[in-house]
Every structure is written in structure tokens, then in C-alpha cells.
Amino acid sequence: MLKLAITGKGGVGKTTLSALLAHVFAERGQKVLAIDADPATGLAAACGVPPEVAAAITPVAEMEDLIYERTGARKGEIGGFFKLNPRVDDIPERFAVSPPGIAGQNGIRILSMGSVSGAGTGCLCPENSLLRSLVTHLLLRRDEVLIMDMEAGVEHLGRGTASAVDAFIVVVEPGRRSIQTAHTIHALAADLGIQRVYAVGNKVASEADEDFIRAQLPGFHILGFLPGDERAIEADRSGRAVYDLAPELVTRVRAIADQLEGR
């Protein structure tokens, strides 16, 4: 089963793409676990989880009682003794939520993971221990499509887990800051030995926008382009799944999923 990490500069549409991919793979009869690893925690709502349910979700990184139960230390404690490999196998089943069931869409579950603190600094604290063990479990020991909606980086991945990622997808928009972030992420991914780093252009309004992205990302395989779509904004405002309101985006993401599956 595919393991996908979706990243890019803030606001480029990572969560929209993650939610659409989750629905597309689910409509193909696959079990999908969508991981919200972005502090903005908008993936559940984008997948169609009712707003009041989505707002009440607590990320795993903030579950103080769970962190203490599994590691033997309190959240935020640095140093001292705690378990470096805590049990995590039951966390998806206990804490993932699903959007309301509709035909062909019952295979999506969303787990809010939260942020890794002090990424890249060697921070040793119990919540990091729990999250890193959880990422290892999700990538190496579960047989389902995994979609990780990440921050603009590779903070949740280490050398032991990066090799299990089938595709690292950087979402970009036709702007130089977005492009620069994409190059930075590409370099970070290369440092971890991630071989398949792709790009998806979002909020594209013209062929000129597509040409700009292609010209600025010569080292990327570009999976496709998504137009700016007011219906995606309306989905956010109304608390509905973008999959239900933006059919053109769904069609284009199906084509992206075809490439990822080698069709």
C-alpha cells in the first residue's frame, strides 16, 4: 500500500490535496489512514468530519495522560528516564475519526498527530519519543494507504522511516517563496535518502503559471496542476468535504493518483 508524505510552504494547499487523495483512494476500495502532522490541524475538516467533531480533536502530541502512560514521563520533560520505544500500535484505532459514511467512502480514518518539538536538535522528550515510534509503526507495520499531511519539512521522518515513504509530494503555487521552499524540502529529503520527490502545482490560473512552475522546478517530476477553485474555499466555509464540492479538483487528483499507482 502507498505511503505518501505531502508537504510544502504554508497555505499552498497541502491539506486540500491530502484530503482529495484520501477520498480518491477510498473510492477505489482502499483503506486509508490520513495523518494530520501539521499544527494547523485542518485535515479532518477537509475530509468532511463535522466541524464540531473536528474542533474537539486533540492531537496525540498533546495527550498528556497517554504520553505519561506510554513513556513513563510527563509531556515536556527533558532528560530523566522514559521509554524510547513506547507501545503505539493501538493508537490509530483508539483515536482516529472518520467522516460520515457515504457509499464508497467508508475507508477513510483521520488521526491528528501534532508536531515534533525541537526537530533536528536532538530533543529528547517523551512526546517526541511517542510520535517517532508512532511514525515508525504507521510507515513500517500497517497495511493501508497512508497519507501524511506534513509541515513544510521532514521533521516527522528519520533515516529509519524515510525509506518506507513511497512518494514525497511537494505542493507549490506559482510564486517564488513557494518554489524556494520546494527546493529546501527537496534537499532535506535527499539528505534522508528519499528518492521519489514529486511536485503538484496548485492555485494555477493559466498556462503561464504552469510554465513558471516547470521552469523553476527542473529537478522535479510534476504530477499535475490544480486550478484555484472557489468551491474549495466554500467547502471550508460550510464544513463540508472538498471532495463533495469541487468535482474538477477530484478529476485532476484522480489522474495524480493514477500516476502514483503506476496506472
Looking at every residue in the chain, the average pLDDT score rounds to 89
pLDDT at 161: 79
pLDDT at 78: 65
Burial tier of 202 (Cβ tally within 10 Å: 0-12, 13-18, 19+): buried
Cα 123 from Cα 118, distance rounded (Å): 5
pLDDT at 118: 45
pLDDT at 149: 94
List, for residues 201-256, the tens digit of each pLDDT value.
999 999 999 999 999 999 899 999 999 999 999 998 998 999 999 999 999 999 99
pLDDT at 79: 61
The CA R_g of the chain, rounded to the nearest whole Å, is: 18
Cα 201 from Cα 149, distance rounded (Å): 16
Kindly write down the DSSP assignment for every residue of 26-68, as one continuous string: HHTT--EEEEEESTT--HHHHTT--HHHHHTPPPGGG-HHHHH
Containing H/E element for 216? Answer: helix 207-216
pLDDT at 116: 63
pLDDT at 53: 93
Give the chain's end-to-end CA distance (angstroms, integer).
Answer: 14
List, for residues 35-51, the tens digit of each pLDDT value.
998 877 899 999 999 99
Q: Which residue has the cell 500500500?
A: 1
Edge-to-edge strands of the sheet including 3-7?
108-112, 32-37, 145-150, 3-7, 167-172, 197-204, 221-227
Cα 2 from Cα 233, distance rounded (Å): 28
Q: Which residue has the cell 515534533?
A: 116
Residues of the chain with pLDDT under 50: 102-105, 118-122
